[in-house]
Amino acid sequence: MSDVDNGNTDDEAATILVVDDEEGLADLYAIWLRDSYTVRTAYNGEEAVDSLDERVDAVLLDRQMPDLSGDDVLETIRERDLECRVAMVTAVEPELDIIDLGFDDYLRKPVDRDTLLATVERLLRRSTYDGTVQRYFSTARKHALLVDSGDPTVTESDEFAELRSRLEALRGELDEVVADFDNEDYEVLFRRLSDQSDDE
């Protein structure tokens, strides 16, 4: 476990926790991020839990780790009511079990530098949003992942129907909170809304 300072004197630099049991991969992600952020690395779930505090702004979290899995770490984050945003960065294909996981984004390995950096920027931007918007993005991401799986046993399940209903309910709450969006998130939001409408 280690901290990598970005070399800036700016105390406002966001802190990113990178968690992966492949030490070389975790270290590579840290190298990609350290010019812009303060980076902490953890090489297993226990180290990740020990590294968590209120200063962590975003977590890049592997799912498959021995002893304490990424799902368990994620549960700990949410149980502690930490405000950090979380992206799962994993080789695990998304299935129905993702519906109840409290992540904000989900990346499938391998992940390139530009994708990783863009994801961290997006996570940090979303941390400033209203809770309804955060829940909408998280739910929309899960919906999109499961649709993209192309598995009819997933998209025809009761669990997926419940997820879709949750997404529609959140969609109904957004009108009052979209005024502060930047162009990119505004486009993402309404692309999701358009995609969902096309499915109906």
pLDDT digit of tens for each residue in the chain (200 aa)?
556 544 443 447 899 999 999 999 999 999 999 999 999 999 999 999 999 999 999 999 999 998 899 999 999 999 999 989 999 999 988 899 899 898 999 999 999 999 999 999 999 988 877 678 888 889 999 999 999 988 999 999 999 999 999 998 888 777 656 655 666 666 666 555 555 444 44
Cite the beta strand spans of the chain per DSSP E: 2-4, 15-19, 38-42, 58-61, 85-90, 105-108
Question: Does the 2-128 domain belong in CATH 3.40.50.720?
Answer: no
Single-letter code of the amino acid located at 156: E
pLDDT of 185 reads: 64
How confident is the model at residue 120, as a pLDDT?
96
Residue type, 152: P
* Strands ordered across the beta sheet of 15-19: 2-4, 38-42, 15-19, 58-61, 85-90, 105-108
pTM reported for the whole predicted model: 0.74
CB distance 54 to 82 below 8 Å: yes
Q: pLDDT at position 27, please?
A: 98
Alpha helix segments (H runs only) across the chain:
23-33, 45-51, 70-79, 113-126, 131-148, 152-155, 158-171, 183-199
pLDDT of res. 184: 64
Q: Please give the pLDDT value at position 153.
A: 92
pLDDT of residue 143: 93
Q: Is the peptide bond before 66 cis (omega within 30 degrees of 0)?
A: no
State residue 180's pLDDT score: 58
Rounded to whole angstroms, how far apart are CA atoms 161 and 159? 5
